[in-house]
Structure 1
Amino acid sequence: MIANSNSTQTTFNFKVVLLGEGCVGKTSIVLRYVEDKFNSQHISTLQASFLNKKMTLEDGKRVQLNIWDTAGQERFHALGPIYYRGSHGAILVYDITDQDSFQKVKNWVKELKRMLGADIVITIVGNKTDLEAQRTVEQSEAIEYSESMGAHYFETSAKANEGIEELFFSLTKLMTQRHTQREQENSSVRLLQGGRPANMLIVEDSQDGDDDAPEVPESHRACCGTG
């Protein structure tokens, strides 16, 4: 989180990662959102690409999204942790005409929950709604699964420019709310610890006998860095 020079505004920096199989439209979604462009030719992402976008929320909060678009090919799957580490939000994309791509999203949900837990806001996105006549993944099935995993569900069409703004705007609000919630939780913890000042370092007993190494409270770690 970076404070602006006038000290009355705060800019939140959130890292967002896109995950999913190849050809589901991850790159198309990002390009439509950031540059309002759509390329009908398939664009293969090599490992990962990085884009950013600034926005102002309804309450005046300023946000910079640092968006990581990852390769969907199976041979790049092992690189996933490199790119989603430190992410505040994830967009897991599948093609509504491809049942297998939806099943692969479920694997990403399990992995993100195992690795990042409650530190990340997960959205599941059914892309290519312009191909509704060819749908094989029913919306009700996807919504039910998303709700069961505590994820948020959206449907989009990068080609028709449908649902893209709503997706990123909603995700940004959810990440901001999650940040505020964590800050409140940290404040409550400090009160339970005896009202220590927020800027006090807490020295914990370490198992290796190094009692001189202070641990920075979670509230002072970079919660909104680009990771």
Structure 2
Amino acid sequence: MKHIVGKVVVLGYQGVGKTATVTRYVENTFTENNAPTVGASFFSVKIKLEDHLVTLQIWDTAGQERFKAMAPMFYRNANAALLVFDITSASSFESMQSWVQEVKRNVEETMVLCVVGNKTDLNDQRTVTREEALQYSKSIGAFYFESSAMTDQGVGLIFEKIAQELLKLSGQLQTLKVYDDDIMAKSSDLEATDTANEETVNLSINSIAHGNSVSSKCC
């Protein structure tokens, strides 16, 4: 079994639901009022795709402006980026676009880009149309998803798509780690993975991923 290990960075303005989206997928939990992330939090999850295993090392970064200068240390060598905005906040959509520019300026290799319009449970308060977000996503070569971390609508599809796209790129990216068997590589090879517990998700039964998060990390 081929084992792919990819780094995923989650970016976006404060309060758009970055942490809620990740914890909904990894832990199947939702907290309405998460404390702002300081620096970044690390999560890890394994996803089984037929005869392949994909480990996503997920770095959930702080959205506050005062932490923005720290972001490059977290998205350096990233293989995928989750760019989250709040569909009820036009300013968060504009802010998300500045993150795209930052990532493209600092990451040389091809990346899987996913733009996520979160909080579809507040659709009656929407200020960013689906068409507008979709058009922008196409212009930067990103996949577009809409989700609600609160109701768990569409969250699983985001991470499943990232895993599928990383699998497609597994022979092309130098920073994407590829192992030829299903035995977990040494923790030194997987860098941060040794600090988290992981469980396997079989997409054929549409499972939700469950794993344990790691406390926030900051320099």
With the shorter chain as reference, the TM-score category is 0.7 to 0.9
* Aligned counterparts of 1:76 and 1:111: Cα–Cα separation in 2: 14
TM-score (structure 1 length as normaliser):
0.76
* Aligned counterparts of 2:9 and 2:176: Cα–Cα separation in 1: 16
Comparing 86-95 with 40-49, greater Cα deviation is found at 40-49
Question: Within 5 A, what are the aligned runs for 1:146-157?
Answer: 146-157=137-148
Aligned to 1:24: 16
Determine helix, strand or coil for the equivalent of 1:109.
helix
- Structure 2 contact 77–175 (Cα < 8 Å) conserved: no
For 1:167-202, what per-residue CA distance to the aligned partner results, in whole angstroms no more than 9, with x for missing partners?
00011111211223x27xxxxxxxxxxxxxxxxxxx
Residue 223 of structure 1 and its aligned partner are, at CA, apart by 2.7
Residue 222 of structure 1 and its aligned partner are, at CA, apart by 4.7
* Aligned counterparts of 1:117 and 1:157: Cα–Cα separation in 2: 31
Runs of 4 or more consecutive aligned structure 1 residues displaced over 3 Å after TM superposition: none
Greater relative CO (CA pairs within 8 A, separation 6+): 2
Determine helix, strand or coil for the equivalent of 2:85.
strand
For 1:102-134, what per-residue CA distance to the aligned partner results, in whole angstroms no more than 9, with x for missing partners?
001111111212222442111100000000000
- Structure 2 contact 20–149 (Cα < 8 Å) conserved: yes
Aligned to 2:4: 12
Task: Note the residue ranges of structure 2 that are not aligned, 5 or more in a row.
Answer: 178-189, 193-219
The alignment-based identity, stated in percent, is 42
Comparing 73-82 with 117-126, greater Cα deviation is found at 117-126
TM-score (structure 2 length as normaliser):
0.78
Aligned to 1:95: 86
* Aligned counterparts of 2:158 and 2:175: Cα–Cα separation in 1: 25
Aligned to 2:214: none
Match of 1:134 among 112, 121, 125: 125
* Aligned counterparts of 1:149 and 1:171: Cα–Cα separation in 2: 16
* Aligned counterparts of 1:111 and 1:41: Cα–Cα separation in 2: 28
For 1:36-90, what per-residue CA distance to the aligned partner results, in whole angstroms no more than 9, with x for missing partners?
0001223311110101001101x32101111100100001111111000011100
CA separation of 1:75 and 1:170: change in aligned 2, threshold 3 A: same
* Aligned counterparts of 1:82 and 1:23: Cα–Cα separation in 2: 21
For these two proteins, the number of residue pairs brought into alignment is 180
Aligned to 1:217: none
CA separation of 1:173 and 1:159: change in aligned 2, threshold 3 A: same
* Aligned counterparts of 2:150 and 2:101: Cα–Cα separation in 1: 29
Match of 1:56 among 48, 52, 76: 48
* Aligned counterparts of 1:175 and 1:136: Cα–Cα separation in 2: 32
Q: Over the residues paired in the alignment, what is the CA RMSD in angstroms?
A: 1.5
- Structure 1 contact 53–65 (Cα < 8 Å) conserved: yes
Task: Note the residue ranges of structure 1 that are not aligned, 5 or more in a row.
Answer: 1-8, 184-220
* Aligned counterparts of 2:169 and 2:65: Cα–Cα separation in 1: 31
Comparing 150-159 with 169-178, greater Cα deviation is found at 169-178
Match of 2:37 among 38, 45, 62: 45
- Structure 1 contact 13–226 (Cα < 8 Å) conserved: no
> Highest Rg: 1 or 2?
1
